Structure 1
């Protein structure tokens, strides 16, 4: 296994984004996530993802924490099962 080239085609976090695991569904386009920095946040599913991307508990997502309110975030991306398994194998996401 190579030490960095294995992420080809996989969307990785930019500087203001974090990996997170969905821990609960709150309704009203909001979910509860556990971010990889150890913080639990309430994340908002943006309109561009609603009805197009189905998010469920235990999905791996990419979130962007709010600058002015650290306990909240916006969902930027949802990984499919194969990509999420790969992120777990590579150690980027811990359950």
Structure 2
């Protein structure tokens, strides 16, 4: 049996430490790029995103991000726009919730609603069925048939 030579666990390999060592520099958009929010996950590395310019685009997650960066509905992402297809784009960066708040304070995400994943589920109202109260007389009339012997 080989001896364990490293500090174990997949969290160590992925570099997920809580010490603050994982802080990264905030990336701003450049020419040919746009901020967007994920509207719908379509599968196979594709998603539908609502861009800051008001357009809805079909976006492809680039290969370097697949299976390493998990993107869910409501995330703020940076898209690289295509010159030859206006309705399609490529996802090049995903912002964390803290980075998205920082972008909003810097004024980069003006007129853009940030929907947090936890808040999105709590805002939905459950629609139920409302029942009216029935009188006991109505129930007695219902079961007054000769087939049933029901006494009120």
TM-score band (shorter)? 0.7 to 0.9
Q: How does 1:60-71 map to 2 (within 5 A)?
A: 60-71=76-87
Aligned with residue 38 of structure 1, among 54, 70, 88: 54
Whose radius of gyration is greater, 1 or 2? Answer: 2
Between 1 and 2, higher relative CO (CA 8 Å, sep ≥ 6) is seen in 1
Q: In proportion to residue count, which structure has more helix?
A: 2
Name the TM-score, length of structure 1 as normaliser. Answer: 0.86
Segments of 5+ residues of structure 2 without an aligned counterpart are: 1-24, 114-152
- The equivalent of 2:146 in structure 1 is none
Segments of 5+ residues of structure 1 without an aligned counterpart are: 1-8
List 4+ stretches of structure 1 deviating above 4 A. Answer: none
Name the TM-score, length of structure 2 as normaliser. Answer: 0.55
Report the secondary structure of 1:54's partner residue. Answer: coil
The alignment of Structure 1 onto Structure 2 pairs a total of residues equal to 87
- The equivalent of 1:86 in structure 2 is 102
Cα deviation, residue 82, structure 1: 0.5
